[in-house]
A and B are shown apart, each in its own frame.
Chain A
Amino acid sequence: MNFSPGKRPLSLSRREALWAYAFIAPWTIGFIIFTIGPMLASLFFSFTDYNIVDSPRWIGATNYVNLFHDDLFWHALGITFKFAAIALPLGLVFSYMIAVLLNSKISGINIWRTVYFLPSVIAGVAVALLWARIFDSKFGILNPFLEKLGIQGPGWFSDPHWAMSALVIMSLWGVGGNVIIYLAGLQGVPTDLYEAAKVDGATAWQRFWYITLPMTTPVIFYNLVLGLIGTFQYFTEVYVISNGTGGPARATLFYNLYLYQNAFRYFHMGYASTMAWVLFIIVLGLTLLIFRSSDLWVYYEGQIKGK
């Protein structure tokens, strides 16, 4: 770009590059110390017997073989998948519908938005404790309410068959975070598209189906990928509600909780590392699958499609 002769342009661009590397250095160093290094180390640990006190002892693929024969591993993986299969699609659809409603031009819309986002800012221990009590079969408020409707409420967190449903309801209450992101996406849809469609006589439903939905697929995609990863890291709620046991009858023993128990309760660091890597491969596979599928359903406005 610079046509002046001599060494100056080269040294200028080199200097610019050095500045760039200097500014991103905090991340690069952190990436090595806290991401790549630990990832490789946990891959190594996954082939060892390691209890943190003694140095790791190489045992080959034993951990992987044991994991394959561990009923609790399959159980934890199963309920995590089950939760992902129920809560994730429900949450995505639910939060999308809320976002569409919150994107309408009605008076006092900011008040409604404030209410709907509220649960997402307080997610954590306090919320889990609150819901554990709402679902309480003796003193909670949900079952007396159901009773008024003529429904005998179940034991929720004391009944292994109902614990999952209770967690799904809890997760739906906290979808506000997704809603915020959907709303930003909805607001980014160019209004001239709607006006053009109106001129062409498109109905409200057609405008939604042929404009809003395709234009917001990148945001749906984003929420789907992050939701999937979040589900496999699901921890605080089940830890708090079951006191770290995964009860009742292991109905809330999610993958991450079982991994935690192995690592920090039994100090089976090698085995837990194996679990971490297996989880990583599963999540990576699913993410790649979603990315692959994105060509079919995600529409990027700025994207140049091949001829």
Chain B
Amino acid sequence: MTQSSKSPSDPKARQRSFTGIQTQTLIVKSITTFVLAAGAAIIMIPFLYLLSTSVKSRDQLRQSPPPLIPMAADMVNINGTDEPLYHVTVNGQASDMALIKFRPGGKALFVDPAAPETTYELVIANQTAIRHVEIHFENYPEALKQMKFSKLLLNTLLVTFLGMAGMLFSCSLVAYGFSRFRAPWLNVLFILLLSTIMLPSQVRLIPTYVFFNKLGWVDTLLPLIVPQFFANAYDVFLLRQFFMTIPLELDDAAKIDGASPMQTLMYIIIPQARPALVSVAIFHFLYAWNDFYEPLIYLHSPEKWTLAVGLQTFNALYAVNTNYIMAASVVMILPPIILYFLAQKIFTQGVVFTGIKG
């Protein structure tokens, strides 16, 4: 990595550079790692809280501050009711006793489960509650059942994948048109296309809604899918940038063999542009999966909702069931996270973003 490691044969030079530049870089690297680790912890804490809350019971939710690992008090049956167990110290003797009644002044009555007749009045703060790990995985099936998950999932998948197909089809055609041909006004049209990236969506929102309403498409999935078949500036731009890197000689060879432009696109460009197509497909998945505004506007009846709208409504109706809502949220963010880890390279190495610069 550094100069010195390349010339191990010269121990003196190695020594010198180590005390100088290498110590400096070592310090810089340590500080960088430390700062990155601290930031990473801040990023991860909400996720840990999310997971932890999703497997707690209603009672466990009330613990403040919330323990990271879901805990519950050990209980013991005293005269027909369950009471929490404590490690207590009475006259220097340690034992386990049940708290049966709160008393004023931060005190409570404790009894020995083996001999519940004698009560001891002790300061609660001096005793430690006996707790055990208690995880409620059943929150997940319960939450999914309550929010009618399978129906919402089906709608979301339809919107996501049909839209993705439309986007890939139309954006490939358009990107090909913008990258491989000369025609009057083509550059002007391309700038026009790019300028739509900066257009606030609100300015076309209402007439588009009115239009779909006239077609009778409101409260169907169609307004979320059909527009994807008409390309979008962002994906066209990324694909075009990538298409431009494919050597023109390949096109020419195909042309000589008598291929039509359509065949050239299908058999030369598309196979070469696989990484770019995969990237825009992934970005589209994330966009469509997380989109909230359009599904909220267009989908009114619960059986038409996507997951985003369903989850929001589930929260609006049953906000107290934090555990169920967090469980449903975990399920909702799981597919993007899995996809993200599978396609990490695209994100961490910026495969398609290089076209953005200058």
Contact = CB atoms under 8 A, between A and B. Distances in A.
Given A34-B208, A133-B326, A181-B356, A116 B40 contact: yes
A184 B353 contact: yes
B315 A218 contact: no
Contact of B29 (A106, A110, A204, A226): A106
A101 B66 CA distance: 33
A293 interface: no
Contacts of A296: none
Given A27-B174, A28-B189, A264 B297 contact: yes
Contact of A144 (B64, B184, B332): B64
Interface in B190-211: 192-193, 196-211
Interface string A225-265: 11001001101100110010000000000001001100110
B113 interface: no
Contacts of B45: 141
Interface stretch (A36-44, A59-67, A68-76, A83-91): A36-44
A102 B350 CA distance: 12
Interface in B299-354: 308-309, 311-312, 315-316, 322, 325-326, 329-330, 332-333, 336-337, 339-341, 344, 347-348, 350, 353-354
A131 interface: yes
A180 B353 contact: yes
A93 interface: no
Q: Which of B36, B170, B176 counts the most chain A CB atoms within 10 A?
A: B36
A39 B53 contact: no
Chain A's interface size range is 35 or more
Interface string B202-236: 11111111110100000000000001011100001
Contacts of B316: 243
B233 to A, nearest CB: 8
B357 A184 contact: yes
Nearest to A18: B183
B230 A141 contact: no
Contacts of B261: 19, 23
B49 interface: yes
A114 B312 contact: no
A49 to B, nearest CB: 14
Q: What does DSSP make chain A's interface, helix, strand, loop or mixed?
A: helix
Given A106-B29, A235-B293, A188 B43 contact: no
Contact of B181 (A17, A104, A113, A236): A17
A226 B199 CA distance: 10
B332 A39 contact: no
Contacts of A25: 173
A38 B230 contact: no
A52 interface: yes
B200 A229 contact: yes
Given A23-B177, A114-B344, A41 B210 contact: yes
B174 A24 contact: yes
Contacts of B181: 16-17, 19-20, 23
Contacts of A287: 198
A272 interface: yes
A185 interface: yes
12 contacts: A24-B177, A45-B206, A52-B213, A115-B43, A122-B290, A126-B330, A141-B65, A173-B43, A236-B292, A276-B203, A280-B200, A287-B198
Interface of B: 1, 28-29, 32-33, 35-36, 39-40, 42-47, 49-50, 53, 61-62, 64-66, 170, 173-174, 176-178, 181-184, 186, 189, 192-193, 196-211, 213, 227, 229-231, 236, 261, 265, 286, 289-293, 296-297, 308-309, 311-312, 315-316, 322, 325-326, 329-330, 332-333, 336-337, 339-341, 344, 347-348, 350, 353-354, 356-358
6 nearest interchain CB pairs?
Answer: A30-B230, A23-B177, A144-B65, A17-B183, A20-B181, A41-B207
Given A116-B39, A185-B357, 13 more contacts: A13-B182, A17-B183, A17-B184, A24-B186, A105-B1, A118-B337, A122-B333, A124-B291, A125-B312, A131-B46, A144-B66, A235-B292, A283-B198
